[in-house]
Structure 1
Amino acid sequence: MTKNVVTILDTGETYGCAREENLLDAMVRLGRKGIPSGCHGGGCGVCKIHIVDGTWRGKTMSREHVSSDEEARGIVLACRAYPSSDVTLKVLGKMKKAVCRERKYGLV
């Protein structure tokens, strides 16, 4: 199974993600912590990210958390996005401060 490389700019963390696996599940399965994790079903918005480089395909996004304009610009929920290539992303969700704080204090 070929894996794409996912890079989280906020933490510098990288991990492999198969095309059949969403960005959040792959990270959690590997024990990584760069993207905040919530419901894993697209309903909470905690895993909101901005894909700044790379291609992806997505399942339906909750319009409560991601507008169609945002989605067109690569702002998506990690639990609903599947990589089609290597991907570089930034965290935007509700828990972004916690991720950045962990990185700052070397907790990641």
Structure 2
Amino acid sequence: MHTVEIAGSGQCYPCAPEQNLLRAMEALGQRGIPAGCRGGGCGVCKVRIEAGRYRTGKMSRACLSEAEEGEGLVLACKTYPDGDIRLRPVALLQRCLDRQRARQAASGGQE
């Protein structure tokens, strides 16, 4: 089991080597984590890997260019950890995490 840290959120979650990063997040019952097709074709779950080793499955070039992949961007639904990972949300995922954090603050962390 590997640990995945969502940079800037204070959140970590376990992820087995055969489990993709998105599926592991969903297994925690997290609300607000964006997911679309779950098959590498929509780009909704795009994240930047800041640290750690991983492998990826086939991802649509319409959603993730070779240049983006070279910069550490991946689709969470097609990325599998080979060790502990630190990822940073981009675009849609960052907005969802910001909303979740705001809801938790408003409810005194009781959510």
Aligned AA for 1:67? Answer: S
Moved more, 29-38 or 53-62: 29-38
- Aligned residue for 1:37, secondary structure, equals coil
Give the ranges of 4+ consecutive aligned residues of structure 1 lying more than 6 Å apart after TM superposition. none
Please, what TM-score do these two structures have when normalized by structure 1? 0.86
Pairwise mapping of residues 84-99 of structure 1 onto structure 2 (< 5 A)? 84-99=82-97
- Of Structure 1 and Structure 2, the greater helix share is in 2
Q: CA deviation at 1:50?
A: 0.1
**Unmatched tracts of structure 1, length 5 or more:** none
In structure 2, the partner of 1:59 is 57
Q: What is the root-mean-square deviation of aligned Cα atoms in Å?
A: 1.9
Deviations 1:56-97 (A, max 9, x none): 100011111111121122100000000011000011143431
Number of residue pairs aligned between Structure 1 and Structure 2:
106
Pairwise mapping of residues 1-108 of structure 1 onto structure 2 (< 5 A)? 3-33=1-31, 35-106=33-104
Determine what percentage of the aligned residue pairs are the same residue: 44
Aligned AA for 1:97? Answer: R
Please, what TM-score do these two structures have when normalized by structure 2? 0.84
